[in-house]
Amino acid sequence: MNQDDPNVKAVLAVNLRFYEAFGSLDIGEMDKVWEHSDRVLCIHPGWRLLAGWEQVRKSWEAIFYNTSLMHFNITDAQVIIQGDCAWVSCVENITSVVDVRASNFAVQATNVFVRGEGGWRMVHHHGSG
Amino acid sequence: MNQDDPNVKAVLAVNLRFYEAFGSLDIGEMDKVWEHSDRVLCIHPGWRLLAGWEQVRKSWEAIFYNTSLMHFNITDAQVIIQGDCAWVSCVENITSVVDVRASNFAVQATNVFVRGEGGWRMVHHHGSG
């Protein structure tokens, strides 16, 4: 992975925007990161697969509703680009306050992005504890 | 996802070949499924990320060495294809005997494949319990 490659930079940037949106707890920010289509898939740690933007968006609303703080430090990012597809593996080092309980933990993530007219959009997120 | 689409059928077929290779406990079968390149990534449940075919292949050798039986029933497969990339989300319903302990459990998986001259090859596997 060449970190100076503009395509790699663009994918790393959208990957970070996803975590900024997650940390903002603002569904409007999450709306900007994802593709709004039936093909998007999302697996939160310990959840079953969610398919389609409607289901995926509802899950973010539920997570944001129950969370009062979420801070990410993203490490070990690997970016692979093939045509208009890219996938990122990274470690989410998380500090969170959910249902008034504070915790620190790490999640291993796979994020898939597709490049369209509007740039790179997330189409798949798989997080596992 | 249109299960009659020949591209979807081809991706579902290589996804099943991956699990047949896994169940065969034969590294030669696993060799046939994966792309042999530095860009392949693999996250086994509870493991750290493995990067590059050499590391990934060693992990399969270690898993096969310690396993005396591994049977898969794959359900809930979703296939998304974009150009020469495809990603599959599925549930691995597993019966295994590892270190003489038998168990039944389910793993949620994300598998990414890239189409080249030799057909579809696995480039990324993320399994989480």
How do residues B42-92 score in pLDDT, each as one tens digit? Answer: 999 989 999 999 999 999 999 999 999 999 999 999 999 999 999 999 999
Average pLDDT over every residue of B125-129: 94
Cα A21–Cα B43–Cα B105 angle in degrees, nearest 5: 105
Q: List the single residue in A84, A89, A124 with the smallest CB-CB distance to B87.
A: A124
Contact flag A128-B41 (C-beta cutoff 8 Å)? no
In a domain, A1, yes or no: no
Residue A34: which domain range?
A: 6-128
Q: Is the pLDDT of residue A127 over 90?
A: yes
pLDDT at B98: 84
- Supply the ipTM of this predicted assembly: 0.94
- Beta pairing, strands B41-43 & B119-128: parallel
Residue A123 forms part of a structural domain: yes
Residue B88 belongs to some domain of the structure: yes
**Quick check: is A42 in a domain?**
yes
A112 in any annotated domain: yes
CB proximity B2 to A under 8 Å: no
Residue B1: inside a domain, yes or no? no
Whether A59 and A50 have beta carbons less than 8 Å apart is answered as yes
What is the full DSSP assignment across B15-27? HHHHHHHHHHT-H
CA A27, chain centre distance (Å): 13
Q: What is the DSSP letter of A129?
A: -
Q: What is the mean pLDDT of residues A42-71?
A: 95
CATH number of the CATH domain containing A54: 3.10.450.50
Q: If residue A104 lies in a helix (H) or strand (E), which one and from where to where?
A: strand A101-116
Cβ within 8 Å, pair B43-A128 = yes
The 10s digit of each residue's pLDDT in B1-39 is 778 899 999 999 999 999 999 999 999 999 999 999 999
| CA pair distance B13, A48, nearest whole angstrom | 23
Dihedral of CA atoms B59, B63, B66, B70 in degrees, nearest 10, equals -170
Q: Which residues of B touch A82 (CB under 8 A)?
A: 83-85, 114, 123
**How far is Cα B95 from Cα B113, in angstroms, rounded to an integer?**
25
pLDDT mean over A104-116: 97
d(CA B62, CA A25): 41
Total domain count, chain A: 1
* Sheet of B67-82, strands arranged across: B50-51, B41-43, B119-128, B101-116, B85-98, B67-82
